[in-house]
């Protein structure tokens, strides 16, 4: 059994994404329309919403929403932090704090704001920086039945370093077997 529920033990830093089968979290130009055709199991979002204390995201992800950044379709409210080199030109948005500091300092601020609950990093770019520093606790992916072919990758690094993961849950194997047919549309 694969366990993709949030840890009972909270206070973790999560990389938590819906990904295409070919490993993209968004299409070209941050197109997220594949999500509209993707259903997840009942209660999944609620479990994450209840465990979530604060969100750290990057400037593209935030700007691509036009300032209307509503994680979990508005089912979660709480402190959101956007890491950017130019906070001065960001529109003021209630509940959103721009940070211009090191990624380590940003995470420290976000963890404190989460008040013992989980932090979700809504950015592959920032997740990669945190992974490099050993600051991500869990990588959680929900795989959408689609091939995007291009876009924003879940993980992109060019230094040749592998990030080995341990599969959670009671499965005796480390691999996950999936089988799809090609949908006509």
Ligand X SMILES: NC(=O)c1ccc[n+]([C@@H]2O[C@H](COP(=O)([O-])OP(=O)(O)OC[C@H]3O[C@@H](n4cnc5c(N)ncnc54)[C@H](OP(=O)(O)O)[C@@H]3O)[C@@H](O)[C@H]2O)c1
Q: Binding to ligand X by residue 107, rule CB under 6 A? A: no
| Of 63 and 137, CB closest to ligand X | 63
Kindly tell me which residue out of 12, 110, 124, 146 binds ligand X, with binding defined by CB under 6 A: 124
Long-range Cβ contacts of 27-33 (<8 Å, 24+ apart): 27/148, 27/150, 27/151, 27/152, 28/150, 28/151, 30/60, 30/61, 30/64, 30/151, 30/152, 31/151
Q: In terms of DSSP bridges, do strands 24-26 and 152-153 run parallel, antiparallel, or are they unpaired? A: antiparallel
10 closest CA partner among 57, 47, 58, 43: 47
Q: Which stretch in 24-32, 38-46, 72-80, 130-138 sits in contact with ligand X by CB under 6 A?
A: 24-32
Span near ligand X by CB under 6 A; candidates 2-10, 119-127, 162-170, 174-182? 119-127
CB of 70 to ligand X, least distance (A): 12
Cα separation, 66 vs 85, whole angstroms: 18
Whether residue 81 contacts residue 57, with contact meaning beta carbons closer than 8 Å, is answered with yes
Phi-psi bin for 164: left (phi > 0), alpha (psi -120 to 50), beta? beta
Separation of alpha carbons 140 and 146, rounded Å: 18
Q: How far is the CB of 47 from ligand X (least distance, A)?
A: 15
179 binds ligand X (CB under 6 A): no
Examine residue 64 and tell whether it contacts ligand X (CB under 6 A).
yes
Instruction: Measure the CA–CA gap between 39 and 145, rounded to whole angstroms.
Output: 10
Stretch that binds ligand X, among 5-13, 60-68, 111-119, 169-177 (CB under 6 A): 60-68
Among the listed residues 6, 23, 53, 58, the single contact to ligand X using CB under 6 A: 58
Asked if 45 interacts with ligand X (CB under 6 A), we say no
Please identify which residue in 12, 51, 53, 57 interacts with ligand X, judged by CB under 6 A: 57
Residue 152 Cβ, how far from ligand X at the closest point, in Å? 5
**Residues of this chain that bind ligand X (CB under 6 A):** 17-18, 25-26, 30, 32, 57-61, 64, 83-86, 103, 122-126, 129, 152
């Amino acid at each position: 059994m694969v366990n993709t529920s949030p840890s009972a033990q909270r206070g973790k830093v999560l990389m938590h994404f819906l990904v295409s089968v070919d490993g993209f979290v968004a299409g070209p130009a941050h197109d997220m329309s594949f999500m509209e055709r993707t259903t997840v199991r009942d209660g999944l979002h609620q479990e994450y919403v209840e465990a979530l204390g604060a969100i750290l995201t990057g400037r593209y992800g935030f700007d691509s929403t036009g300032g209307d950044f509503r994680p979990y379709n508005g089912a979660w409210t709480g402190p959101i932090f956007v890491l950017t080199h130019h906070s001065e030109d960001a529109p003021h948005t209630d509940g959103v704090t721009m940070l211009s500091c090191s990624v380590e300092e940003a995470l420290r601020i976000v963890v404190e704001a989460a008040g013992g609950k989980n932090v979700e990093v809504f950015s592959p770019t920032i997740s990669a920086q945190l992974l490099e520093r050993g600051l991500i606790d869990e990588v959680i992916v929900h795989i959408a039945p689609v091939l995007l072919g291009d876009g924003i990758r879940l993980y992109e690094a060019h230094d040749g370093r592998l990030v080995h993961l341990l599969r959670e849950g009671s499965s005796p194997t480390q691999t996950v077997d999936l089988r799809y047919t090609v949908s006509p549309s």
